[in-house]
Amino acid sequence: MTALGRHDAQLEHRLVTPNASLIDLDAAVALATEHDLAALVVNPWLLKAARRALGRSHVALGTVIGNGQGGQLLSVKAFEASKCLEQGATQIDFALNAGALISGLDDTVHNDLLSVIDMAHSALAVAGVIVEVAPMRDELLTRACRLAERAGADYVVTSAGAATVKRTMDRVSLLRDSVGPRVRVKAAGRFRSAGELQAAAEAGASRLSAEFDEDLLRSARDATGVVAVA
């Protein structure tokens, strides 16, 4: 277990850079299993190898589809989700169609969300909606969260993971206030200290997603309190 603070949160290691290799995957699997993390998120092409490497570990295996901008066709997102689930993913994060949201096409956004969320749930996997792939007004993010909740999302996710810590913190509070207690908030950002992780948990995140390293995980373990792993 990893310690952080009085607010329980789960740690998730991300390996989603464009050039992530099989060598990088070996290191990521070792990090996730050694530190008993809740999840490992990898690029879709790495899923099969990751599933094999994780073996019987309890570490959940996730991936990100619609990465970058979320404007893919609904059928394309659903197909990608189905193939990722076949490769062993138990967690699917995907980017919301922000262009449709800004255009006021809530039905288009909702149907897009359902195409992936229903696919994930039919395979007993969880689904997280990345609600901001580029800066948006607060009222748009609140509407995005409510659409994600109505579509049955398990998580709303602050970003694809490249956001600064400050922006991530701001978004955690907004997302937490925009959904009911059933939907969890995932803070995905460039965390560099246990204090930043603890602050995100205290702001309302129940999953903390980052490119972790040994030093950050050791400092998190030495902090006060407990972070859940399952």
Express each pLDDT in 68-106 by its tens digit: 678 888 899 999 999 999 999 999 999 999 999 999 999
Instruction: Write down the pTM of the prediction.
Output: 0.90
Q: Please tell me the total count of domains within the chain.
A: 1
Q: What is the pLDDT of residue 165?
A: 84
- In this prediction, the residues of the chain whose per-residue pLDDT falls under 50 are 1-6, 224-226, 228-230
| 92 within some domain | yes
What pLDDT is attached to residue 224? 41
Q: How far apart are CA 80 and CA 156, in angstroms?
A: 20
Q: Could you tell me if residue 227 is inside a domain?
A: no
Which CATH number fits the domain that encloses residue 113?
3.20.20.70
DSSP character at residue 2: B
Give, for 135, the enclosing helix (H) or strand (E): none
The distance of Cα 83 from the centroid of its chain, to the nearest Å, equals 18
Q: Is residue 1 assigned to a domain?
A: no
How is residue 191 written in tokens? 């965390």
Residue 5 covered by a domain: no
Residue 173 lies in a domain: yes
Q: Is residue 228 part of a domain?
A: no
For 123, counting Cβ atoms within 10 Å of its Cβ (0-12 exposed, 13-18 middle, 19+ buried), the class is middle
Q: What domain range is 59 assigned to?
A: 10-222
Decide if 123 contacts 87 (C-beta within 8 A): no
The Cα–Cα gap between 21 and 40 comes to 15
d(CA 196, CA 190) in angstroms, rounded, equals: 10
In a domain, 186, yes or no: yes
